[in-house]
Structure 1
């Protein structure tokens, strides 16, 4: 396993690095660590403008970057450590997050922090979330990445992210701050982000004896910077052009939050966009394309949805649940 500590705090660079490493190390297992300056990282299938406080984000020069994986929006700053495992895609269950969150849990438990994995993809301490995790499968590889809130600015986090009531309808939520916490108050005194990063690297080395440290060379840095400039810093990628939707609905299912936008003319779907914090092992654009040209009526939607394996696009969801999205 190659262990890479990113030399940059630029979110455009670090999210671009995930894609670059995915394609340029097709057979290598990697462990990437990075720390971003203030930024919001949105899930691949999310409607960015519905997730952020745009005025606040613009005023405070907070970068907004869309990642390749599904899941929800997260806030990053210099008090937040991000980790990313790149592995060859084998027989592992795509929906199982335990394997690659376990090193973090083991490290924290060894420091007498009662951390544990709970729900789909969250790490909690005392019932509060300090780490959200996401994953994707592509080109024979799988990436699972997550955040670790060590000493983030919680007020900024709360102001920068909008909370969608539907996403939290089954939880007693008063604010985002009520559900997240920093680890700094649980860790032994004197542990900084850099020290914690080194402890996590040591934990990975301990569990993977053949691991080696790899520094990105100038050529790799240049290619990542080019990808960041051409894709990850652009409005088209991070926000995307939206059609003039005539139909919009959202549902909450075990697989996550799913939001549908349709542009319908004379009863026929002209454009379709699907957003949410679900995890997909296949591109959601494939399903969006299948909807175009079909009549926006329930029997037709059942036929179209029955023709695909829904779990490839949404995880744990039933046909009946998804059909309600179109009603």
Structure 2
């Protein structure tokens, strides 16, 4: 087994590294540890916009990254340690999460933390979740990865994942918001993610006597960064890959009541319908037609709105007021 400690706190880099390592080491067992700066990690089959508080995320410069595995959306920051096991497919029962969560439970139990695996893939203490885990199978290998909330900023976590459930109608997998907790409440107050890294690494070495430390090479770093730029930093992967959905938003502004209805396919607006009691000198259908083919993404829509005389369609409105209808 190769033990890898990521040198980066960039979520784009660390999520990209999982795919890169999967292809780069087709037969070796790997154990990867990483810590991300504030970021939201979305499950592969989720509608990203329906999982995040977009205004809050943009305002606080929180990265949003889609991972390769299914499951729900999670928040990462520097108080959260992430671990990832890569093994050959078929060596273990794919639906059994206990094998690779056991090292986490062992070190915590030794420290007096009454942590347990409950349900299929969650680690809990006193009925509250501190670790969610997910899996994927690809290229003959299996990845199981998980989080460990040590000293995460819970207020930011709550705000970043606070979503209006009435905006989106789709068949995408929705996250179940569990009661979560930080392990720092059960450990010495000076415990750090590095402390957990060291304890977990020692536990893995004890159970895998041939385990060796592996440092990412210059070629590895270049390969990960290439994949990051081509895929994991892109709107197409993080937002456009989302399953098809219907979006609606109602606004009450000085110009009147406006209701926006969108049908979105792979992140692209295919149909748009706008209702309301506003007054327009031009048919609103002309505005709806200009929305078709646009990304359901604020930067693209802002550029479009800047090129249109909005007062002809809505009366006395601002660009910001209309843009709000697409959030």
Assess same fold via TM > 0.5: yes
Distance, in Å, in 2 between the alignment partners of 1:87 and 1:16 is 18
Distance, in Å, in 1 between the alignment partners of 2:44 and 2:242 is 15
Deviation at 1:187, TM superposition (A): 1.1
- For 1:38, the equivalent position in structure 2 comes to 38
What are the Cα deviations for residues 143-181 of structure 1, in whole angstroms up to 9, with x where unaligned?
A: 000000000000000000136879xxxxxxxx95x7000
Query: Do 2:38 and 2:76's aligned partners in 1 also have CA atoms closer than 8 Å?
Result: yes
Distance 1:49 1:205, change over 3 A: same
Query: Do 1:51 and 1:164's aligned partners in 2 also have CA atoms closer than 8 Å?
Result: no
What are the Cα deviations for residues 96-149 of structure 1, in whole angstroms up to 9, with x where unaligned?
A: 111100000001001110001001110000000000000000111000000000
Distance 1:111 1:94, change over 3 A: same
Deviation at 1:188, TM superposition (A): 3.0
Pairwise CA RMSD: 2.4
SS of residue in 1 equivalent to 2:240: coil
Structure 1: 5+ residue runs without aligned partners?
167-174, 249-260, 264-269, 271-327
Query: Do 1:8 and 1:14's aligned partners in 2 also have CA atoms closer than 8 Å?
Result: yes
Alignment of 1:160-175 (within 5 A): 160-162=160-162
- For 1:92, the equivalent position in structure 2 comes to 92
- For 1:136, the equivalent position in structure 2 comes to 136
Alignment of 1:1-327 (within 5 A): 1-162=1-162, 179-240=179-240
Distance, in Å, in 1 between the alignment partners of 2:139 and 2:65 is 22
Query: Do 1:111 and 1:188's aligned partners in 2 also have CA atoms closer than 8 Å?
Result: no
Query: Do 2:53 and 2:163's aligned partners in 1 also have CA atoms closer than 8 Å?
Result: no
Distance, in Å, in 2 between the alignment partners of 1:29 and 1:244 is 36
Distance 1:245 1:163, change over 3 A: closer
Deviation at 1:36, TM superposition (A): 0.3
Distance, in Å, in 1 between the alignment partners of 2:241 and 2:181 is 34
Distance, in Å, in 2 between the alignment partners of 1:23 and 1:221 is 14
Query: Do 1:121 and 1:134's aligned partners in 2 also have CA atoms closer than 8 Å?
Result: yes
Query: Do 2:57 and 2:63's aligned partners in 1 also have CA atoms closer than 8 Å?
Result: yes
Query: Do 2:46 and 2:242's aligned partners in 1 also have CA atoms closer than 8 Å?
Result: no
Query: Do 2:45 and 2:243's aligned partners in 1 also have CA atoms closer than 8 Å?
Result: no
Deviation at 1:190, TM superposition (A): 3.0
Distance, in Å, in 2 between the alignment partners of 1:220 and 1:29 is 17
Distance 1:164 1:115, change over 3 A: farther
Distance 1:101 1:165, change over 3 A: farther
Query: Do 1:50 and 1:162's aligned partners in 2 also have CA atoms closer than 8 Å?
Result: no
Query: Do 2:81 and 2:148's aligned partners in 1 also have CA atoms closer than 8 Å?
Result: yes
Distance, in Å, in 2 between the alignment partners of 1:246 and 1:133 is 29
Distance 1:245 1:211, change over 3 A: closer
Query: Do 2:47 and 2:242's aligned partners in 1 also have CA atoms closer than 8 Å?
Result: no
